[in-house]
Every structure is written in structure tokens, then in C-alpha cells.
């Protein structure tokens, strides 16, 4: 759209993903307007009307896919099992669509949506927002600058202390269609980041455990990836970590890089802070990473996080001036590794990947 008008965006789902992430980031992006919100929950509908009084709030998906209320872009921010059905409905309506991660519960379903979108000539992309974390952007720049030399080991963690089960959450649901558990929830981010940094994977080993009393989904996860280029990625996610390990520990033949703590943008969004604020995306200085070798380390100031860049790039892509912010085939590759990790853990084996599998495109 190049006539100066803003695109109307329909956000389907107004839970954590829709309310805290997507709607505020869309609202902060020039050229995009939150025009419609779909939620069947009365409390969330009331919240949506308070947050976006000019938006159409409805309990019906058809309200944003057709008729006078038709939008220009659809965002699927609903529970995992509805990602593919809603994504397909958007594609069949000829509407570009953003799907929250994970793209799907299975590789087959993820491929089905991406292939159908390609056949229809409709853009599909996936909200892999952790590519724009402060610490990840900083690490990516250090690697591009060659500051670590040739990297041989990459360690990445999303660890939390949540000893009590979250009753009613999809994250605690063992139904495979709901893609619950930490491998799908946080593992989708960890694997995506590793693929972005180091490319295709030739083998996968995983340990998927249930550590909390009464847990029926994986809540303590370890995944080891061997990349075609020789880097070994060791990835951890846990809900039962009373002491947190480093967020990143990356070892090269010239230097290492270690950082602690989580990117601040989720907490900032939940607190009402928005892109453009002076504090937006900035880590506390005491959480800046350390670069160097034993006895000769220095602090590296973190780049500010930039979740808003996902939607900024998307607006350019919709005008034909750039590829989508996340190629959906990247997210299919993530699902390939998730399924390989499940096979590895179930059978206590290392799973070999095909040369073109588990690779971002």
C-alpha cells in the first residue's frame, strides 16, 4: 500500500500474545492500525475496547476476514492448535498473515500452510520476536565483527523458577495438538536463534523431562544440535531452575561471550512502555555481557532490543520492498528439529538430519 493510507490490521486473540505483544507493537508502527480485535472472552473484549476504542471488537473471526470490516493484514495470536486453521482461512481470504510461534504442532501442518500460501501468492510470516532481543542482537553483531573468532560452542538458556503448575494453561496441556510443554514454548525460540546464527543442523540429541510434581508435559529441556559448519549448540529451557545459568555462553578460538538475564521488552510492554521511549529495549548496565579470555575480559554495552522492527520490516515487505521479517520456512525448520528432539528423547538416540533439513532459507 503506497498511497499513504495505513493498513488495517485484525488481531485474532487477545490473551498474552495479542494484548501484550502484537497489538501494542502494531499500534506503534507507522502505516499500521489496529482496526479489529477478535476474542470470545468478555473480559478480554472489555479490555480490548479500553485499549483500542476505535477498533471493531468481535467474537467472530469472519468479522475481520470478510465484508465491510475486512482488514488488510491478519495476526493469529491464538492458542497453538488454531494457528493452522486460522492461518489457512486468512490465506483463502487472500489476506497476508502473521502467525505467532510456534507456527504449528507438526511439520506436516506447517508445510501445508506455507505451501498453500505460496500457491495463493499470499504472504505468511511467523512472529519469532526473540530475534530482536537486546542480547541476541548484541551477540549477532559480535559474531559478524569476528570478535570471537571461529565459534565452536554456543550455549543458550531460557530458565525460570515456576515450581507450581499453571492450571488451565495450554503450556501444561499434554494433548499433542496443543503443542504444550517447554520444547514448543521456549524451545521454538532457542532453536530459531541457533539456526539464524549457525545454519543447518546435521544431528539432534535431546533430553525432555518432567521435574515438577504432577507435571504431564516437559518442563525441563536440553537439546544439543550439531550444525553443518561444525558449531555445537547446547540449548536449555526449564521451569524449575532455582538458580539461573547464563543466558548466553559462546566460545570461540579468540574470545568468549557470556551474558545473564532476560531481554526487558516483554516486561516493558506489559508495564505499558512502548517503542520510542528512551528506556525502550535497554538492558540494565549490570546485565551487559562480558567479552574476552580468562584474565582479560571487558564489558560490552548491549544494543537496545527492537521487537518493533518485526512490524517495521513487515510493512516494507507488504509493499514489495523486502522479504518478510521471518521466512516461514525457517519456522518449518524449527518444527523439524522439535520433532527430531522428541524422537531423540523418546528413544535415547542421536537423530541424523537430512542435509537440507533443519536449515533456514
The rounded mean pLDDT for the chain is 94
Q: Region 249-278: what's the mean pLDDT? A: 96
Place 296 in a pLDDT band, splitting at 50, 70 and 90: very high
Tell me, what's the pLDDT at 359?
A: 45
CA 341 to chain centre: 18
Angle of helix 134-144 relative to helix 187-198, nearest 10 degrees? 20
Place 356 in a pLDDT band, splitting at 50, 70 and 90: low
Scan for cell 465484508, then name that residue.
67
Q: 97 with 121: CB under 8 angstroms? A: no
Domains of the chain: 7-127 (3.40.50.720), 131-305+336-352 (3.30.360.10)
- pTM passes above 0.85: yes
Q: 186 with 237: CB under 8 angstroms? A: yes
Place 67 in a pLDDT band, splitting at 50, 70 and 90: low
Residue 8 sits at φ, ψ, to 5 deg, of -90, 125
pLDDT reading at 3 higher than 70 = no
DSSP β-bridge partners for residue 124: 97
Q: How far apart are CA 360 and CA 330, in angstroms?
A: 4
pLDDT reading at 289 higher than 60 = yes
Q: Region 138-164: what's the mean pLDDT? A: 97
Q: Region 73-78: what's the mean pLDDT? A: 97
How many secondary structure helices (H) and strands (E) does the chain include? 11, 15
Q: Region 164-168: what's the mean pLDDT? A: 85
Tell me, what's the pLDDT at 357?
A: 54
Tell me, what's the pLDDT at 69?
A: 67
Q: Region 99-110: what's the mean pLDDT? A: 97
Q: 182 with 211: CB under 8 angstroms? A: no
Contacts of 298 (CB under 8 A, 6+ apart): 290, 291, 292
pLDDT reading at 68 higher than 70 = no
What is the percentage of the chain residues whose pLDDT exceeds 90? 90
pLDDT in tens, 110-120: 999 999 999 99
Q: Region 259-283: what's the mean pLDDT? A: 95
Place 84 in a pLDDT band, splitting at 50, 70 and 90: very high
Scan for cell 558449531, then name that residue.
231
Tell me, what's the pLDDT at 218?
A: 94
Contacts of 85 (CB under 8 A, 6+ apart): none
Amino acid at each position: 500500500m503506497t498511497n499513504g493510507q495505513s493498513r488495517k490490521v485484525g488481531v485474532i486473540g487477545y490473551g498474552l500474545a495479542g494484548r501484550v505483544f502484537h497489538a501494542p507493537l502494531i499500534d506503534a508502527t507507522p502505516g499500521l492500525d489496529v482496526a479489529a480485535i477478535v476474542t470470545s472472552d468478555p473480559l478480554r473484549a472489555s479490555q480490548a475496547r479500553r485499549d483500542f476504542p476505535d477498533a471493531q471488537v468481535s467474537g467472530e473471526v469472519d468479522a475481520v476476514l470478510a465484508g465491510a470490516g475486512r482488514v488488510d493484514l491478519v495476526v493469529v495470536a491464538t492458542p497453538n492448535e488454531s494457528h493452522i486453521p486460522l492461518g489457512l482461512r486468512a490465506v483463502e481470504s487472500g489476506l497476508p498473515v502473521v502467525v505467532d510461534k510456534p507456527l504449528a504442532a507438526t511439520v506436516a501442518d506447517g508445510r501445508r500452510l506455507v505451501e498453500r500460501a505460496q500457491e495463493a501468492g499470499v504472504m505468511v510470516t511467523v512472529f519469532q520476536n526473540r530475534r530482536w532481543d537486546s542480547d541476541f542482537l548484541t551477540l549477532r553483531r559480535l559474531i559478524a565483527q569476528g570478535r570471537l573468532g571461529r565459534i565452536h560452542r554456543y550455549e543458550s538458556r531460557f530458565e525460570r523458577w515456576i515450581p507450581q503448575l499453571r492450571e488451565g494453561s495450554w503450556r501444561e496441556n499434554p494433548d499433542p495438538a496443543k503443542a504444550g510443554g517447554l520444547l514448543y514454548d521456549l524451545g521454538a525460540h532457542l532453536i530459531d536463534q541457533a539456526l539464524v546464527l549457525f545454519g543447518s543442523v546435521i544431528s539432534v540429541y535431546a533430553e525432555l523431562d518432567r521435574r515438577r510434581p504432577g507435571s504431564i508435559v516437559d518442563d525441563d529441556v536440553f537439546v544439543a544440535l550439531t550444525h553443518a559448519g561444525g558449531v555445537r549448540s547446547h540449548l536449555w529451557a526449564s521451569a524449575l531452575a532455582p538458580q539461573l545459568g547464563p543466558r548466553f555462553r559462546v566460545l570461540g578460538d579468540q574470545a568468549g561471550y557470556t551474558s545473564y538475564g532476560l531481554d526487558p521488552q516483554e516486561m516493558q510492554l506489559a508495564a505499558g512502555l512502548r517503542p520510542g521511549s528512551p528506556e525502550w529495549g535497554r538492558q540494565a548496565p549490570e546485565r551487559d555481557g562480558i567479552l574476552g579470555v580468562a584474565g582479560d575480559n571487558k564489558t560490552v554495552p548491549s544494543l537496545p532490543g527492537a521487537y518493533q522492527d518485526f512490524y517495521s520490516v513487515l510493512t516494507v515487505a507488504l509493499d514489495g520492498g523486502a522479504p518478510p521479517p521471518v521466512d516461514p520456512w525457517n519456522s518449518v525448520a524449527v518444527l523439524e528439529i522439535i520433532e527430531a528432539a522428541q524422537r531423540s528423547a523418546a528413544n535415547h538416540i542421536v537423530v541424523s538430519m537430512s542435509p537440507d533439513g533443519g536449515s533456514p532459507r
